[in-house]
């Protein structure tokens, strides 16, 4: 029993965005961003129940409309006067780990080649036609699949092609994605292809929170009774959607309203005209939803708040949101001359929206030091351990220098991990490197090898005319090599040995650059730091490069250099992660000048080298980034690199164009 859509409280923007798309699917879907536990999924799943039901041709697996069947329907052609059957609109969930075949459907190549039959098994896109396609954790879906989904959503068609055999069918659906930004961002290129985005957070108003809990209790105690109590509300929402859909074609977007749309888009400096189109469509849908046949300034305001925030983000580290003052100003400036000077109305939703902005951090403690904030930080200054041999006082965190485009560091060999952009891997996509006998159904046929396998048997099979006789045992599956994402675990020396603040800034800038690179290559990242008495897992492996960047910025520095402890902590982290995510190969990036210090009389350097050899013996791929600077170089990082069986790069060599720069400087010197 799903939770009734009408009973959802405190999610006004999200509900409105979903309803407007239900009225006008041309808006292009909804992306919902928010932390865990905000009932995002519950709300999406509740939507299907209030969508108008659809008439379908009985038996058609592609949900053809009897009034206008898809001429290309693989189950067609349907008779013109095909009987109709009415069923509820569907909500289809796409699991993050789905294969491409599962999503677009699969062609049975075996039957195509051996029997000459074009057999197509519909995928999730076919199932979602005329309904809702929902992807939870859409930020974790591989880019290629997200692209594919957004293309289908934009064209209203799914297309599958394998070795010259192709199938096309209608696939129009309302695409809804939900994600928790703390687990990593969606790439900006994909972000802007969702029609609308909304940010959700748990409501702050205690009365609203109480109502959420009250309804949840009532629902869990008696789901059927709760559903029945809300049935009239559900029915009236469904009727209102149907009504608004019918009104939609009559809604007028006047020149004045259009000018406001374009003025707002220009004020927020969005790329291209896509934003203008989506904003206009949303404003029209909102007018229809409100029972009006003309778009008003209020419709434009609501549309801009839903359609623009994600279109102006340039950097994954920028904060989302839309500045209300800029919006008001743009609307006012573009208002027609003779219009009354109205006060901006509060944002309108199906409930009464307009929650006040969150209060600025209201529980800032009395701690005046530079290290405030709630980070777990075992090496914080309170500990007396610093006193021993480390005169270095706690300093304010050093700001990182500007990030640069980093060169690709990769894990040697060929992995089998999830698709990404770092190390070589056996993959679902990529270049063909060979073929094997298929262990299951053939998904990527290696045509040449199949023909070569069939050729010797042609006489025995009694071939007379043109055309090969191909049998099942001839079929060869292509082996593809693409790239995988990895776990990049940084081990960063934050001790006093790293010298000047400028040097530490450069180190942080370099790690930040590698983090940006990891974001683009779909890697998981983790951060181990060591300084003072111990090493700390400052960030357990995560998708969130933002979290890693934040930890890095605040990283305190100074004190002793327990390099061995850092390596031990890294080994332990990798061991746990190998259990959790065995296919993902790790790459250790040790950022250090190679020095190690410990308690008096201990052999800190020897201990570090032993730890390094243990990592190398376990087959851990590693790179050492040498941070040593100054006129006298000891080359200790290189020695550590040898023990790790790792390549050692100087900090300056990390930039993608470092080689070109070096060549240039050598030429200039000559």
Question: Which residues are CB-neighbours of 459 under 8 A, at least 6 positions away?
Answer: none
Please check whether residue 302 is in contact with residue 283, taking contact to mean a CB–CB distance below 8 angstroms. Answer: yes
Rg (C-alpha) for the chain, rounded Å, is: 30
Which secondary structure element, helix H or strand E, spans residue 621, and what is its range? strand 621-626
Comparing CB distances to Zn ion, the nearer of 77 and 582 is 77
The residue range among 57-65, 487-495, 621-629, 634-642 that interacts with Zn ion, by the rule CB under 5 A, is 57-65
Q: Which is nearer to Zn ion, 72 or 258 (CB)?
A: 72
Give the tokens for residue 260.
Answer: 């406001």
User: How many other C-beta atoms can be found within 10 angstroms of the C-beta atom of residue 127?
Assistant: 20
Tokens for 450? 């199949």
For residue 230, CA distances in Å to 16, 217, 241, 280, 349 come to 19, 15, 17, 33, 19
To Zn ion, the closest distance from the beta carbon of 75 in angstroms equals 5
The CB density around residue 638, as the number of other CB atoms within 10 Å, is 16
199's enclosing H/E stretch is strand 196-200
For residues 313 and 366, give the distance between their C-alpha atoms in angstroms, rounded to a whole number: 34
Instruction: Give the span between the Cα atoms of 656 and 665, in whole angstroms.
Output: 16
64: contact with Zn ion by CB under 5 A: yes
Number of residues that bind Zn ion (CB under 5 A): 6
| Interface segment toward Zn ion; rule CB under 5 A; list 20-28, 54-62, 264-272, 493-501 | 54-62
Between 60 and 507, name the residue whose CB sits nearer to Zn ion: 60
Residue with smaller CB distance to Zn ion, 62 or 404: 62
User: Closest separation between CB of residue 81 and Zn ion, Å?
Assistant: 14
Query: Which span sits near Zn ion by CB under 5 A: 69-77, 172-180, 245-253, 645-653?
Result: 69-77
DSSP string, 485-545: --EEEEEEE-SGGG-SHHHHHHHHHHHHHHHHHHHHTT-EEEEEEEETTEEEEEEEEES-H
Which of the residues 76 through 105 are near Zn ion (CB under 5 A)?
Answer: 76
Q: Cβ of residue 74: shortest distance to Zn ion, in angstroms?
A: 8
Nearer to Zn ion, 73 or 304 (CB): 73
73 counts as binding Zn ion under rule CB under 5 A = yes
Q: Considering the candidates 274, 426, 613, 614, report the single residue annotated as catalytic.
A: 274
Query: Shortest distance, CB of residue 86 to Zn ion, whole angstroms?
Result: 16
Nearer to Zn ion, 129 or 286 (CB): 129
Residue from 62, 134, 230, 543 in contact with Zn ion (CB under 5 A): 62
Task: Give the interface segment with Zn ion, choosing from 58-66, 100-108, 109-117, 214-222 (CB under 5 A).
Answer: 58-66
Active site residue 33: no
Minimal distance in Å, beta carbon 193 to Zn ion? 28
Name which of 79 and 271 has its Cβ closer to Zn ion. Answer: 79
Q: In this chain, which of 12, 13, 65, 75 binds Zn ion, going by CB under 5 A? A: 75
318-347 positions binding Zn ion, by CB under 5 A: none
Q: Would you count residue 65 as binding Zn ion (CB under 5 A)? A: no
d(CA 494, CA 507): 10
**Choices 48-56, 61-69, 216-224, 300-308 (CB under 5 A): range interacting with Zn ion:** 61-69
Q: Interface with Zn ion includes 394 (CB under 5 A)?
A: no
Structure tokens at 54: 């659809």
- Distance of alpha carbon 113 from alpha carbon 151, whole angstroms: 29
Q: Which of 27, 44, 60, 264 binds Zn ion (CB under 5 A)?
A: 60
Name the pairing type of β-strands 534-542 and 524-531.
antiparallel
Q: Please, what is the minimum distance in Å from the beta carbon of residue 107 to Zn ion?
A: 17
Query: Which residues contact residue 196 at a Cβ distance below 8 angstroms, ignoring those fewer than 6 apart?
Result: 17, 20, 21, 27, 28, 29, 30, 31, 278, 282, 306, 307
Provide, for the chain, the percentages of residues in helix, strand and coil under a 3-state DSSP scheme, each rounded to the nearest 5: 40, 20, 40
Q: Least CB distance from residue 76 to Zn ion, whole Å? A: 5
Q: How far is the CB of 70 from Zn ion (least distance, A)?
A: 6
Interface stretch with Zn ion, choices 74-82, 141-149, 471-479, 530-538 (CB under 5 A): 74-82
Q: Between 60 and 133, whose beta carbon lies closer to Zn ion?
A: 60
Q: Which residues are tagged catalytic?
A: 274
Residues in touch with Zn ion (CB under 5 A): 60, 62, 64, 73, 75-76
């Amino acid at each position: 029993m799903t939770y009734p859509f009408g009973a959802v409280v405190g999610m006004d923007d999200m509900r409105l965005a979903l309803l407007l798309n239900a009225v006008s699917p041309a808006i292009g879907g909804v992306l919902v961003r928010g932390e865990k536990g905000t009932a995002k999924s519950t709300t999406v799943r509740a939507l299907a129940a209030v969508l108008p039901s659809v008439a379908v041709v009985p038996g058609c697996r592609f949900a053809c409309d009897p009034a206008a069947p898809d001429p290309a329907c693989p189950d067609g052609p349907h008779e013109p006067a095909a009987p109709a059957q009415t069923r509820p609109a569907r909500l289809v969930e796409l699991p993050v780990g789905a294969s491409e075949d599962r999503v677009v459907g699969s062609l049975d190549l075996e039957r195509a080649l051996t029997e000459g039959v074009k057999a197509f098994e519909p995928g999730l896109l076919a199932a979602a036609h005329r309904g809702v396609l929902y992807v939870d954790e859409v930020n974790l879906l591989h880019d290629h699949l997200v692209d594919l989904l957004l293309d289908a959503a934009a064209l209203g068609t799914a297309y599958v092609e394998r070795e010259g055999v192709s199938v096309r069918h209608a696939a129009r659906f309302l695409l809804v994605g939900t994600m928790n930004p703390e687990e990593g961002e969606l790439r900006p290129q994909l972000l802007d292809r969702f029609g609308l985005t909304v940010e959700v957070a748990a409501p702050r108003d205690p009365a609203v929170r109480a109502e959420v809990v009250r309804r949840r209790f009532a629902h869990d105690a008696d789901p059927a009774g709760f559903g029945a109590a809300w049935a009239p509300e559900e029915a009236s929402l469904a009727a209102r959607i149907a009504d608004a859909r019918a009104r939609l074609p009559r809604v007028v977007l006047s020149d004045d309203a259009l000018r406001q749309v374009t003025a707002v888009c220009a004020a927020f400096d969005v790329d291209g005209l896509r934003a203008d189109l989506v904003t206009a469509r949303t404003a029209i849908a909102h007018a229809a939803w409100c029972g009006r046949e003309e778009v008003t300034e209020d419709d434009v305001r609501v549309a801009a708040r839903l359609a623009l925030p994600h279109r102006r983000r340039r950097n994954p580290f920028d904060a989302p949101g839309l500045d209300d003052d800029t919006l008001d100003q743009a609307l006012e400036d573009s208002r027609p001359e003779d219009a009354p000077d109205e006060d901006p109305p509060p944002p309108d939703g199906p409930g009464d929206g307009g929650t006040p902005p969150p209060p600025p951090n209201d529980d800032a403690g009395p701690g005046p030091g530079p290290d405030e904030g709630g980070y777990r930080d075992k090496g914080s200054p309170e500990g007396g351990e610093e006193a021993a041999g480390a005169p270095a006082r706690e300093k304010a965190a050093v700001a990182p220098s500007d990030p640069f485009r980093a060169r690709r560091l990769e894990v040697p060999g060929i992995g089998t991990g999830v698709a990404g952009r770092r190390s070589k891997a056996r993959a679902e996509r990529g270049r063909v490197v060979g073929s094997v006998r298929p262990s299951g159904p053939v998904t990527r046929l290696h045509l040449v090898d199949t023909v070569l396998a069939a050729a010797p048997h042609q006489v025995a099979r009694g071939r007379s005319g043109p055309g090969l006789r191909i049998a099942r045992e001839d079929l060869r599956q292509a082996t593809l090599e693409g790239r995988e994402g990895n776990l990049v675990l940084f081990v960063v020396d934050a001790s006093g040995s790293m010298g000047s603040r400028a040097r530490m800034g450069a180190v942080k800038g370099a790690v930040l650059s590698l983090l940006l690179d990891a974001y683009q290559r779909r890697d998981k990242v983790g951060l181990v730091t060591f300084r003072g008495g111990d090493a700390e897992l400052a960030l357990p492996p995560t998708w969130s490069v933002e979290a890693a960047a934040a930890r890095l910025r605040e990283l305190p520095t100074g004190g002793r250099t327990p390099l061995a402890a850092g390596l031990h902590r890294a080994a332990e982290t990798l061991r746990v992660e190998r259990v959790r995510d065995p296919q993902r190969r790790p790459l250790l990036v040790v950022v250090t000048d190679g020095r190690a210090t410990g308690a008096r009389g201990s052999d800190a350097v020897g201990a570090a080298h032993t730890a390094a050899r243990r990592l190398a013996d376990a087959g851990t791929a590693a790179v050492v980034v040498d941070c040593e600077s100054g006129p006298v170089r000891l080359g200790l990082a290189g020695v550590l690199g040898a023990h790790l069986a790792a390549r050692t790069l100087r900090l300056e060599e990390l930039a993608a164009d470092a080689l070109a720069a070096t060549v240039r400087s050598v030429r200039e010197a000559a």
